Structures are given as structure tokens and as C-alpha cells.
Amino acid sequence: MALALFISRKQTCLRRITKRGSSSPSREAVSFRLLALWALLASPLAAAAANPLKPPAIVTEGVPIIPPEFAPRLAQYQNTRAAGFAGWDPAGRGMLVRTRFANSLQLHRVYEPGGRREQITFESEPVDGQFIPKATDEAMLLTMSVGGNENDQIYFLDRAGFQTKLLTDGKSRNRIDAAADDGAQVVIASNQRNGRDTDLYVADPRQPGSMKMLMEVSGEFWDAADWSPDCQKLLLVRYVSANEGYPAILDLKTNQRTDLPLPTNEKAAIGTLAFAQDGKSVWIATDARGEFRQLARLDLETKQFRWYTSDIPWDVIDLDVNDKTGLVAFTVNASGASRLFIVNPDHDQAYRELEIPRGIVSSLEFSPDGKQLGFTLARPDAPADAYSLEIDSQRLARWTYSEVGGLNPASFITAVPIEAKTFDGRLIPAWFFKPRSASAETKAPVLIQIHGGPESQAQPYFSGTTQFYLNELGVAVLVPNVRGSSGYGKTYLKLDNAELRDNSVKDIGAMLDWIKEQPELDASRVAVSGGSYGGFMVLASLVKFGDRIRAGIDNVGICNFNTFLANTSAYRADLRRAEYGDERDEKMRAIFDQISPANHADKIVSALLVAHGRNDPRVPFGEAEQIAAKVRGHGRPVWTVFADNEGHGFAKKDNADYLRAVEAYFLKQRLAVP
């Protein structure tokens, strides 16, 4: 999914990683052939004989042929593109970016702001990666999985020798945690030992077969966040849940791990963290002192904290330390938008803010000379692009200019924040996109888009699909952050845990009430959509509010918590139990039976679209099969779109384009759009 490109590099799902090359036809060639075929399908009989819009890896049931006249305009919105900053060239010759020019995201070099993009990888699968620190030969580490199975493999790309070498075993799940500043070592987290536990290994990034066990882990989840400047220690964090984590230091000489203190006896979340320039202290973001993750500096000798953002009522999201000056750059998530700050630890002034356009910043990194910051900036009215900012002059430079499919950028509609009062009196925040055609005389139908996680946060990212709904279908889009969403403090984050799960579904009722109060919206024409946990929310909303919702789109969603937890990949089962509850406990199992939509399929009276990848390691494909069969068994209309070469979401452009077309046509029909 394109949004994955903009998540902070500190999150494990987007560690800079990747691999090799392919000979698949270009996106432009494929699009031309498809459009030509659509034009030839003049009769219903011809359309029934061949569906050129549907890729060969996709199997459908109940889905009609998408009319030829529906596709060309939608194709423009699907051909918007984005680019993400993936790191600086260690030799100072530009930056690495991740973008798509064919069917999947690949790595590219850009040598100057606004310069040409030189493609480096040419795989059919999405690729991620990074330069090896201090490498003067442009050597890189790459990661890639196959068919969405998320068993990422790590490769060494020797650009000077034109060779790619596999570093991992070719079958287990692996990730790059941290590379030493001298480029000689890298920490790889891998479940190769037993397929369940993720151990930490150290390896020479240029040598296959060099992985050596660093820390064997059983039943816990550890991440190596940073190397000390002398490359003798590792900064670790043990992740338990979105509400609980524990930092530690591993001495590589003695192999001794020392837990770091926190200023509370209560459970606390640990966000981003890094060694200070001198290696004698650690920068850490934690909510140990309040509702939000504040930035602190922990002295490793005295164990004393100095707090820097106590007066900022928002979470610190990302940080990077300048290894030349000691300056620290960090971002906060201020009600969905990023603010960028600089800390000079040697001055009394706590921090100063740097001016950036309104948007969402991720993948923050100082340039090799320490004079610039590189990052991805996702704006609400345009696709994300790679940028840099000079620290002293605060001059902003845009390195990539992503295309918008030939559309007029002035036509794009941005979201406005709203709040709706829910059943217990709380205010539920949401983003509202209103089509220009909506009025009291011409009421707009509404799509409620529910994010996954569950501890994610909906932010006003640009989406070509959303703009199509607004400008071409006249459908309003409402994107709530129901209880359990991050970004609004740890109390709000905990409000949906375990037996409180159903309360987040009740918050969708507040959205329906808000829609009914708006004179320009049609409360009788409402649909819901969501992916992963958002898919559960869709199904649960159809169970609870089926008389108020016409249709639902469930993308890789959970329909039965008991079967989901029993069948999700072994490496992540306990992580999910920490969030949702443990199905092995009889009391919790009974609660899951009560709230799981699969057990109430008879109450789903709305039209349903179910999409899923057969290789999904997170939400097993059986969840889609289960809910589709049960709802169909009660005589309800169900469209299914299943992909043989996808996992937790559709990452390949041809598959994603087809699914978006089916979703758009489904909404057009079910919401009675002219």
C-alpha cells in the first residue's frame, strides 16, 4: 500500500531494505494496452468473454465486469505517484528515494533537487533499501519479500561490481534493525531459528553467511535501535504493546544487557530513541511522565533525565542525531500534522522550531556533512515527495516532483477536522472531505473510512482514490479516529483494549449521528470501508448499524478474533494478544465470541465487498473466506476480490488498480450515484 512508504524509518515495517531486477512491461505500456482493450469491448457479450481490467492473479466472485466507460477517468487518479526519502548517499552525492515507475515501489537515485531519477532496482516485487554507512562505492543493503508473504530477505547490492548477494536464508522473516556508523556491522532480526521467535544477529553487510547470534530471544520482542558512536554498544528496546516498552543497553564486549530506568513504576510506551553524539547519554521519547511521548536525554552514568518537550502536548514521533555537531532534530504529531524542531544540548534553550509546509514528515535524517535534514513530506493536497532543509538558512529544497496523472492540482480537495460526540460524552476526532457538489439541495452520499492498527492514526494524506470519490462521484469522505487511535494521549489509546473493544464500534454510531446533522449530507446513503483492524470495524459496524449503512468494504479484515489469533503467523500472535486479549483465556474467548462479526453474519443486511491476499501472514486468508461464505449463506450480496500474489494489502499496481476500480464501481452502485 502506498501509505506504507511514509511511515517513519524507525518502524520495523519500513526499514530501509531491498534487491535485484526484472523484465516486466512498463506501467505506461500496460495502461495503453488496457485502454485499447476497453475500447474494443463494445458489447456485453464481448465484455463477458474477457475482462482486460482484471489481472491474472485475481479471482473474483459476484463482481460484475467494470464498464469500459468507467475506467479511463479513474485511471488518471490511479496514476498519481508519490516518492519517499530513503537516505543520503554517504559520499554526499545526493539521496536515495523510493517510488514507482512500473508495477511496484523501487529504489532510485536523485543527484540534486529536482534532478532526474535514476532507477536502481527493477523487481516485480516492492523493494526497500539503504546505503551502507560510510560506503564510498555506493554499496547498499536491500530487502524484499515475495507475493506479500512478508518473509523479507536481505541482500548486499555491490553497485561497483554489479552483483547482488543474498545475506539471509531465503525463507525466514528478517529485518534490518541498525547499521553501525562505520558500516562494518549490521544487526539483523530474524526468526530463522524456529519460525516463531525473532532473535538478534550481527553480520558483515558485505558477506553472505556471516550472520552470528547476538541475542537469542524467547517469547519477547526486541529491537536494536542504534549503535553507540564507538560501535561497542547497542541501544535496545523490548516492545510489549503500543502502551508498554522497556529500553536497555547491550555491551558487545561482555554480551551483558543492562536495563535502563524510566521515571515511573507504571507501564510506559517507548517511542524513537538514539545514542547522543558523545555516547554517554541516550535520547528517548516516552510517555512515562504524562499523556504524550516527551523527548528526554538520559545520562547513562547518573541515570538522570533531562526533559525537553514538557510544554508540547503532542507525541514526539521521529528523531535523528547529528554525529558531527550533536544537534538533535525531532518531529511531533500535532493533531495530525508534523512540526519540526532542533535541540542543541549544549545551550540552555530547550528547542527551536524549523519552518516547513503543513504536512506529515517521516524518515528524518541529517546529511553526511550535518548541514541539512532529509525527509519525506506528505502534503494533504499533493502526493508525498522527498525534501531537504538547510539547518542554518532554513532553505527548503524539493528533490522529487511526483506526477498527478495529468489532473489539475487545483481540483484537489483537502480535509477539515471535525469532532463528534459519542455515547459516553467523549469527542471523537475525524477528518472530513466535502465534495464541491454537496449542498442542502444536492445532498452527498458519504463513505466512512476506518483506519487499521488498531493503534494507528488517520492523518490527512493525499489519496488519488479519495479525490476520485470527491470530484467524479460526488461522494463525501469521513475519516474518524475512534477510541484506541494514537496521537491523542495514552488514555485515549487504551480505551479499546481487550473487553472494551466494542466501544470503538459504538464510536461509528457517533459518525452516523454527525452525518445526519449535516444539511449537505445524505444520511440514507452511507458506506463504510477499512483494512485489517479497520476491516473488523467495517464488519462490526454492519452488524450494529446495518439499518443505517448501505454497503461495506472489508479489505484484509478480521471477522473472528478467536480464529484470527489461532491462525495468524506464530511470530506475531503474542503481540496481537497484548492488544486484543488472549483467546486462550475462557473469559476473553467468550468476549471474542460475542463481538466477532462472523458469529453475527445473519445481522449483516448491507451489500458487502471482501478483498484479501492469499499470502497474508497477519490476517489469515481464512478470515475472508469465512465471512464471505457466512454472509452469502444468508442470501446477502457479496463481491469478493482475492489475489494469489498478494498479502496484507495489494502492493502491486495492477492488482491495486483493479481493486480500486471494483470498490469505486461498488460504491457507485450501492450509494446510487448517478
Reported as a single tens digit per residue, the pLDDT across 476-496 is: 999 999 999 999 999 999 999
**Residue-wise pLDDT tens digits, 574-609:** 889 988 989 999 999 999 999 999 999 999 999 999
Is a pLDDT exceeding 90 seen at residue 24?
no
**Residue 447 phi, psi (nearest 5):** -110, 125
User: What is the CA 239 to chain-centroid distance, rounded?
Assistant: 18
Residue 194 in domain? yes
Residue 142 in domain? no
Residue 407 in domain? no
Residue 8 in domain? no
**What's the average model confidence in pLDDT over 611-627?**
97
643 in the same domain as 539: yes
Per cent of the chain over pLDDT 70 is 92
Go through the chain and tell me how many residues it has. Answer: 674
Q: Is 664 exposed, middle or buried (0-12, 13-18, 19+ CB in 10 A)?
A: buried
Q: What's the CA dihedral at 463, 465, 471, 474 to 10 degrees?
A: -120
Q: Is 269 exposed, middle or buried (0-12, 13-18, 19+ CB in 10 A)?
A: buried
User: What is the CA 613 to chain-centroid distance, rounded?
Assistant: 17
Residues 175 and 47 sit within 8 Å (Cβ to Cβ): no
Q: Which among 372, 398, 424 is the end of a domain?
A: 398
d(CA 485, CA 213): 36
Residue 582 in domain? yes
**Residue 165 phi, psi (nearest 5):** -125, 135
477 in the same domain as 336: no
51 pLDDT tier (thresholds 50, 70, 90): low
If you search the block for the grid coordinates 547482488, which residue do you land on?
164
Beta bridge partners of 238: 222, 246
Is a pLDDT exceeding 50 seen at residue 15?
no
**Residue-wise pLDDT tens digits, 290-332:** 999 999 999 999 999 999 999 999 999 999 999 999 999 999 9
Is a pLDDT exceeding 80 seen at residue 569?
yes
638 pLDDT tier (thresholds 50, 70, 90): very high
What does each C-alpha distance from 211 to 11, 131, 167, 186, 567 come to in angstroms? 22, 19, 8, 9, 30
**Residue-wise pLDDT tens digits, 364-380:** 999 999 999 999 999 98
User: What is the CA 251 to chain-centroid distance, rounded?
Assistant: 33
Q: Would you call 541 helix, strand, or coil by DSSP?
A: helix
Is a pLDDT exceeding 70 seen at residue 570?
yes
73 pLDDT tier (thresholds 50, 70, 90): confident
Structural domain that includes position 464: 60-79+413-670
Beta bridge partners of 203: 186
SS (H, E, C) 407-440: CCHHHCCCCEEEEEECCCCCEEEEEEECCCCCCC
Query: Which pLDDT score is estimated for 4?
Result: 36
The arrangement of strands across the sheet holding 607-613 comes to: 58-61, 638-643, 607-613, 551-555, 521-531, 444-450, 476-480, 427-433, 416-421
| CATH code of the domain covering residue 577 | 3.40.50.1820
| CATH code of the domain covering residue 385 | 2.120.10.30
The answer to which of 426-435, 492-501, 503-512, 657-666 has the lowest mean pLDDT is 492-501
Residues 403 and 81 sit within 8 Å (Cβ to Cβ): yes
Strands 360-366 and 372-379, by their bridges, are antiparallel
Q: Which is higher by pLDDT, 47 or 526? A: 526
**Residue-wise pLDDT tens digits, 86-102:** 999 998 889 999 999 88
439 in the same domain as 388: no
Cell of 96: 536515495
d(CA 455, CA 493): 7
**Residue 154 phi, psi (nearest 5):** -110, 135
- What is the total count of domains within the chain? 2
The per-residue DSSP string of 302-346 comes to T--EEES-TT--SEEEEEEE-TTT--EEEEEEETTEEEEEEE-TT
Residue 51 in domain? no
